[in-house]
Amino acid sequence: MDAKAERQDQKKVNVKATAKDPAKANAKATAQTSAKATAKGTKKKVKFVKPTAPRSEEGVEASAEVYQDPQNAGHLKDLNSWFPYRFKDRDKELKERGIEARGIMMTEHRAISLSQLRTVNMFAQHRCQKWRDLAPKNSGQLLSFSILNFYHLCSWVILPCTKQDDSAFVECLAEDDQVPSWFISHWWGDRLNEFIMCVEKHSEVRCLEDQDNGVQPYYWVGAYAIRQHSLAAELGSINLKESSFSKALQTAFGVLLILNGGFSDTMPAVPFTRIWCLFEISDALDNYKPVDITATLEVEKQGNGQDFKYKAEVLTQEPAQADRKFCGEQAACMKAKLERESNFPVKVIQGGLNSRLESADASDPQDRRMILNCLAGKPLVSEPVDEHWSYTRVNSKVHSFFATRCWRQTIDQKQAAMTALLAQALQEDTYRENVVFDFSFCKMDNKDVELLARGLPHSVTTLDLDFRHCYHIGDEGLIALGNKLKTLENISCLSLNFEGCKITDQGVQAITSNIPKGIESLTLGLCGCTTIGDQGLHSMVTGLVSLEVIKELTLDITNITGNDQVTKRGINELAHWRPPRTVERLVLVSNENPNGTTKSENNELELVELLRRLARNWKAYRPPEVPTTTTNCESKAHIPPTTFGRADVQEPSLTETRRAGSDGSKPQAKLAKKASKVTISEKVEYVDESIRLSSYSDRAISVESRKRFRCNLKLCTLM
């Protein structure tokens, strides 16, 4: 019993020693781990043991002293034990070799890992009760972790910790360069607990952290990466585009914008009123960087009703890795993304629609003057002008960006008033050339389509609208969209997908008759629109023929030729259609399988004959300068390598094709499988239920099944 009591007393002594010096505790834990690995004779990864806050047995802080000043000797000693400058030995060695270098020289390589963020967060959580607010407004007030923000952290941790060596705070955490994967744009008034919550949620959604394999995401945060005691040298004084902020943004993969939720004494989405945040978002859009948006959402009140429990939500530009984790198809990934983003508080983005660069604030007035002069192309030290076209361009670009990012969430949450504001913001961006929306599986109706059409700017050159499975969209919405299309004179690339929408011949006519004549690339998806009939096919063919300079044309008519509304008249309308002479690439997506009815099977066979006629029309309609492909040996030199097999197989007649079935029961249903890998003189090949036609020239025609095989049409090879 005496020996046992002696061991327990020794443990208590060790615990007290650990509480006094967390750095020694970390070194001791690392040494013990290494010793165990050596004893076992195996290579075991040594993990960094986070230092724990010194606490007494009663669970309260070991020291009840309240610091009046960040330069307090005890406070500085505590900081140096947790965050010592880690490049002293390397700097000394480089200096002896005559190399002038200090710490991490490239500011853009001073990112902070997620585990390091947690360490700083833990330190502040256990120490901030001994700090006072130094701001004039709340001077002398004791701080708590629930209100601790980056201004407080800079005063009590970053500035005193980095003063002696004139370093960045990251240089007190890292031992080598840390290249950022994401650039964080935020307001320094962000509370640390909200900030770390947003970053952890973003890392979870993007699947950036793998603790088992030691994989960590690195975020560039200005407060930690900039040497705060040498701001002028860090920011630069010639061109702000060459500053450390811009270099870090260009180095990172993307930008993470953190919006505060606006709890208690702060207004929501303060970054929209900060000039640095607006400048960083504008710079990201100019550099085509993906921008993810995070915001905190209040869940419930706790205790006396003044403390809140909240969670973070993330808006991503495309389906994130977490959305693709358990589903491979694009449609399933999009549904997972929509479900994840359904609770995002879109109201916090409303401030982004009213932001004005010229009226935004900065903690240092010199920063505001520098940014405005940089955008206006004036000397950075001069007095900025009140109005400039570059300010208007940045404002409209930022407004339309936020409008496009939260449009569908606004529709799903049934906020009609805000949807009208989004349409206005998009319309006012007269510099915008590309408009891309994915509304698949959205709850939008005809009124929403009308608002969207009203918001399309006249400067747009590329328009991509995906309305797949928007079951509430009908002819009324397409009429409004068609009326807008005819006014877009600058558009050259148009993609419209109405798969599963309840549209009829009237809707098809409204779209195809109003397509601008100067269109060069057109993709029209009508899959599953089973209420389209012969008149709709006639309107489509008539509208496509009138396109004068089109070069690429893709049509998805899956399940249209097999429905009860289409007769042989509509099939013949397509069969005798001649694509415009300017078309260089034509892709038709047809039925994957017959529906089982006699009418559908016959229509499927009629469609096969239609495609053969199209091939003949295409072959006879080529310009004179394109050589006609034949099947003799002399012309084989002009044929690129393909997987088509023999080129001299004679074309089977339609009657012979009907006899392809071996059992005689339903030969039509087995048409594609029986004819697999058969090449005929018109170069018609059936490959796994897909029909593919090619003219073996620099103009090609392809017909694919719903499986959408990816093809290189000019080389005629399957990828």
pTM score, whole prediction: 0.75
274 close to 398: Cβ distance less than 8 angstroms: no
Q: Where are the beta strands (DSSP E) in 303-356?
A: 307-315
What per-residue confidence (pLDDT) applies to 480?
95
What per-residue confidence (pLDDT) applies to 9?
57
Residue whose pair of structure tokens reads 């359904």 in the numeric block: 342
**698 vs 257, higher pLDDT:** 257
Q: What structural domains and CATH numbers belong to the chain?
A: 433-623+643-718 (3.80.10.10)
Task: Read off the tokens for 197.
Answer: 């919550």
Measured at the CA of 39, the angle between CA 34 and CA 42, to 5 degrees, comes to: 75
What per-residue confidence (pLDDT) applies to 491?
94
587 close to 710: Cβ distance less than 8 angstroms: no
Tell me the residue type at 162: T
CB atoms within 10 A of CB 578: 14
**293 vs 546, higher pLDDT:** 293
Lowest mean pLDDT segment, chosen from 163-177, 178-192, 367-381, 621-635: 621-635
- CB neighbour burial string for 30-62, b if at least 16 within 10 angstroms, e if fewer: eeeeeeeeeeeeeeeeeeeeebeebeeeeeeee
Instruction: Tell me how far apart the alpha carbons of residues 655 and 48 are, in angstroms, rounded to a whole number.
Output: 76
Give me the residues paired with residue 685 across strands: 679, 692
Instruction: Tell me how far apart the alpha carbons of residues 312 and 261 are, in angstroms, rounded to a whole number.
Output: 9
CA 385 to chain centre: 35
Phi, psi of 517 (to 5 degrees): -70, -25
Tell me the residue type at 445: D
Non-local CB neighbours of 118 within 8 Å, separated by 6+ positions: 50, 196
pLDDT of 358 > 80? The answer is: yes
Task: Read off the tokens for 459.
Answer: 């400067």
Task: Read off the tokens for 66.
Answer: 């309240």
What per-residue confidence (pLDDT) applies to 207?
93
Residue 300: which pLDDT band, with cuts at 50, 70 and 90? low
682 close to 651: Cβ distance less than 8 angstroms: yes
CB atoms within 10 A of CB 474: 19
Tell me the pLDDT of the chain averaged across its residues. Answer: 75
Instruction: Tell me how far apart the alpha carbons of residues 281 and 260 are, in angstroms, rounded to a whole number.
Output: 16
Task: Give the highest mean pLDDT range of 300-309, 458-467, 598-607.
Answer: 458-467
Q: 237: helix, coil or strand?
A: coil
Residues comprising the chain, all counted: 719
Non-local CB neighbours of 162 within 8 Å, separated by 6+ positions: 85, 168, 169, 171, 172, 227, 228, 229
3-state helix, strand, coil in the chain (%, to 5): 45, 15, 45
Region 644-663 average pLDDT: 33
Q: What is the DSSP letter of 132?
A: B
Task: Read off the tokens for 510.
Answer: 């409204």
CA distances from 246 to 28, 281, 282, 399 (A): 41, 11, 11, 21
676 close to 659: Cβ distance less than 8 angstroms: no
- Summarize pLDDT for 161-209 with one digit per residue, the tens: 999 999 999 999 999 999 999 999 999 988 999 999 999 999 999 999 9
Q: Where are the beta strands (DSSP E) in 358-461?
A: 434-438
What per-residue confidence (pLDDT) applies to 666?
38
CA 666 to chain centre: 48
pLDDT of 259 > 60? The answer is: yes
Residue 235: which pLDDT band, with cuts at 50, 70 and 90? confident
Rg (CA), the chain: 33
Q: Of 153, 205, 154, 216, nearest to 179 (Cα)?
A: 216
- Summarize pLDDT for 403-415 with one digit per residue, the tens: 999 998 899 888 8
- Summarize pLDDT for 139-159 with one digit per residue, the tens: 888 999 989 999 999 999 999
Lowest mean pLDDT segment, chosen from 33-47, 113-127, 148-162: 33-47
Q: Please, is 379 exposed, middle or buried when counting C-beta atoms within 10 Å of its C-beta (0-12, 13-18, 19+)?
A: exposed
Percent of the chain exceeding pLDDT 70 equals 70
